[in-house]
Amino acid sequence: MTMHDTGSANSDTEQLIRQAQSGDVTAFDRLVRRLQDRAVGYAFRLLRDRADAEDAAQEAFVQFWHDLPRLRDPRAAEGYLRRMVFKYCDRRRRARSIPTIPLDHVAAVTNEDPFAILLNREQCQMLTRALATLPAAQQQITRLRYMCELSLAGIAAQVRLPVGTVKNRLHAARKRLRKELWKMADEILTETKPSDDGKFTGQVLARIVTEFERQLRADPHTANRALLTEAKTGLDGLIQQDNPMDFATVRSGFLLLTRQNDQPAIAALLMHFLGDTHSDSETTWAYLHMANALAIARQPVGAVLAHQAWEQWLPGRQPRLSSHWPYPPLTPDETNGYTALDDCRLLFLAQSAEFASAYLAAGRLPEYLRKMDTLLALPRASPQSVDHRFYGSRMAAHVCINNRDFSRANEYIDRMYSQGGAVSDPEERTQWRARTLGDHINLLRTVGDTVEYSRRVSEMRDLLADQTQRGKGDAIWVRSERHNLAHQLSLNGQYADALPLWEENERHGGQLNGWAYLLHAGTVWHEIGDRDRTLSLLRDAAAHDDRDMTTLFQDRPEFHAVREDAAFLDAVKKPT
């Protein structure tokens, strides 16, 4: 069947197109699966490179998804997709400066017709010679079928013969062609078309998420968040098929679910992934994030058990992870990351405050601290171990504060001051000083040491002001520490002192995330009572976060009096 065949299959395809136009992602997923072989095969014949062909076809499907609602006639959709495939292939061809075959001379790739594939030059010549051995009548029909893309009905109309006669001549032509050629074409078709394991569909969904990210960067207020919901539906479909999933698809799914803060779904996705055998680095990555997702989802026992399962699996392994979130496996030529086993162990323990707190909630904090202290006492395994140890001390301090073990928390913070002070680079040393001050301020506020608290807050203000005067006020770490200090001041009831810090961040690139905009709005409402400004900030909070902010809004003490106000609730509702 070619892209232009008629009949029940086309009718079904048109129905899927109508459903996809109305936002049905399951229908779009089925549509991708139905058309992917033809689209990739067509791209392969234009580019003669499988990887490039799949990339071009995926780009075409994303464009297809974007433009689908505007297509008036579902019958024209396949032709439009075909033009998009050609468009993205042509872009790649121009970038590589390779010759291609004109659009009107290329046939569609199908499951039924291996001869539809145009091969590289040598193979194409072999196919041409083989076709030339056919009788003229068979040759004409074969070329109309495969070179001009005509359906059986179209060929019959062209040569003025019954459809049955056309079928018979095509059948006879196939029999006359050498078996070796048929085998060759069939093998290449198998190599060219995407597998049915969901990988191609997963890659299309990943590109849809990338399109959302692009929209978000352009304007968070107008980004189409339905793309995330739709992509998640497609991801759920991939999981339900119970097929093995490649790492690229799982990583894209993880990033999608992280943006939606769907921690149970993250844990389920990674558990599914771990059901198969993967590289040491991919397995470690999956265990790491599965344990963290369980911790954030308030399943502390599950988080601890996931960590223990990884520890039992680890001996004899050699995982290598990037030092930057989400810590993907390092490529063979990368060295700056978690390349030693002890560094990976530190990363696992120090990955988040939520994971550290899972050990506390599970009643196993002594075990967590014993593991952490053992690793911190070891000689440095790599140059990057300084960073890893600092964050290990930081998470240990955090969980000790939560456990109200203030003496031990202070020991870890002293270690952080020492670790940061030993850094040779002045800029990095300043960053580490700021991070340590932030945690120290949290400890002092919790303990109630007002004198030392005020002194450290003053030191932090001076440090941040100095960075702003140096023209670094919009640096991520500076904005992050302003955010942390403003939050600590608000927790201490010092809203008037917190407000200038929120405003400073707003002037230097905006708040870090939706949660920060919510805190900024609460401070404005508490201190000034400016309804319009507060509502504007709440809309910013909703635009910069893909969660429904309603519960977070209603839980904030600053909004207690307006927690049921319709205008406020409308401002924080989940964007669409």
Higher-confidence position of 125 and 334: 334
The β-bridge partners of 533 are none
Q: How confident is the model at residue 93 (pLDDT cuts 50, 70, 90)?
A: confident
* DSSP notation for 431-445: HHHHHHHHHHHHHHH
Mean pLDDT of 404-415: 97
- Whether the pLDDT of residue 179 is over 70: the answer is no
Burial class (CB within 10 angstroms; exposed 0-12, middle 13-18, buried 19+) of 190: exposed
pLDDT at 35: 84
Mind listing the pLDDT tens digit for each residue in 423-462? 888 999 999 999 999 999 999 999 999 999 999 999 999 9
Torsion of CA 39, 45, 49, 52, to 10 degrees: -40
Q: How far from each other are the two terminal CA atoms of the chain, in whole angstroms?
A: 39
Q: Which two tokens stand for residue 90?
A: 């042509």
pLDDT at 190: 43
- Whether the pLDDT of residue 200 is over 90: the answer is no
Report the CATH fold assignment for 8-133+177-192.
Rna Polymerase Sigma Factor; Chain: A (1.10.1740)
d(CA 212, CA 220): 10
- Whether the pLDDT of residue 193 is over 80: the answer is no
Q: Please report how the helices 300-313 and 341-350 are oriented relative to each other, as an axis angle in degrees rounded to 10.
A: 180
Domain ranges for the chain: 8-133+177-192, 261-417
Q: Kindly calculate the radius of gyration of the chain based on its CA atoms and give it in whole angstroms.
A: 30
The β-bridge partners of 337 are 322
Higher-confidence position of 293 and 112: 293
- Helix/strand/coil percentages in the chain, nearest 5: 75, 0, 25
Structural contact between residues 230 and 28, judged by C-beta atoms closer than 8 angstroms: yes
The 3-state DSSP class for residue 371 equals helix
Mind listing the pLDDT tens digit for each residue in 49-66? 777 888 888 888 888 887
The residue type of 130 is A
pLDDT at 125: 54
Residue 287 half-sphere exposure toward CB, CA atoms < 13 A: 27
pLDDT at 114: 36
H/E segment holding residue 267: helix 263-273
pLDDT at 498: 98
Give, as one character, the DSSP assignment of residue 512.
S
Residue whose entry in the numeric block shows the structure tokens 């403003």: 486
Q: Please report how the helices 50-67 and 179-192 are oriented relative to each other, as an axis angle in degrees rounded to 10.
A: 60
Q: How confident is the model at residue 23 (pLDDT cuts 50, 70, 90)?
A: low
Q: How confident is the model at residue 502 (pLDDT cuts 50, 70, 90)?
A: very high
pLDDT at 87: 86
The 3-state DSSP class for residue 553 equals helix
pLDDT at 43: 83
Q: Which two tokens stand for residue 278?
A: 């993967």
Higher-confidence position of 241 and 485: 485
The β-bridge partners of 329 are 321
Mean pLDDT of 379-389: 74
d(CA 270, CA 352): 18
pLDDT at 9: 54
d(CA 147, CA 397): 70
Closest to 103 measured CA to CA, from 35, 46, 38: 46
d(CA 61, CA 54): 10
Mind listing the pLDDT tens digit for each residue in 132-177? 777 888 877 876 776 555 678 878 877 788 888 988 888 787 777 5
- Whether the pLDDT of residue 111 is over 70: the answer is no
- Whether the pLDDT of residue 2 is over 60: the answer is no
pLDDT at 181: 52
Mind listing the pLDDT tens digit for each residue in 540-570? 999 888 778 899 999 999 999 999 999 999 9
> In this prediction, what percent of the chain has a pLDDT beyond 70?
82
pLDDT at 136: 80
Mean pLDDT of 497-512: 95
Q: How would you write 519-548 as a 3-class SS string?
A: HHHHHHHHHCCCHHHHHHHHHHHHHCCCCC
- Whether the pLDDT of residue 186 is over 50: the answer is no
Please state whether the predicted TM-score (pTM) of the whole model is above 0.75.
Answer: no
290: left (phi over 0), alpha (psi -120 to 50) or beta: alpha
- Whether the pLDDT of residue 107 is over 50: the answer is no
pLDDT at 185: 45
Mind listing the pLDDT tens digit for each residue in 313-369? 999 999 999 988 999 999 877 777 888 888 899 999 999 999 999 999 999 999 999
CA 503 centroid distance within chain: 31
Q: Which two tokens stand for residue 235?
A: 């991801």
pLDDT at 53: 85
Stretch among 16-20, 342-346, 358-362, 528-532 having the lowest mean pLDDT: 16-20
pLDDT at 8: 52
d(CA 204, CA 234): 10
- Whether the pLDDT of residue 468 is over 60: the answer is yes
How many contiguous H segments (helices) and E segments (strands) does the chain have? 28, 2
pLDDT at 102: 39
Whether omega for the bond prior to residue 102 falls within 30 degrees of 0, making it cis, is: no
d(CA 145, CA 562): 69
Q: Which two tokens stand for residue 384?
A: 């990057």
**For all residues of the chain together, what is the average pLDDT?**
82
Stretch among 69-78, 213-222, 228-237 having the lowest mean pLDDT: 228-237
- Whether the pLDDT of residue 106 is over 50: the answer is no
d(CA 512, CA 377): 35
d(CA 424, CA 228): 43
Structural contact between residues 54 and 193, judged by C-beta atoms closer than 8 angstroms: no
- Whether the pLDDT of residue 126 is over 60: the answer is no
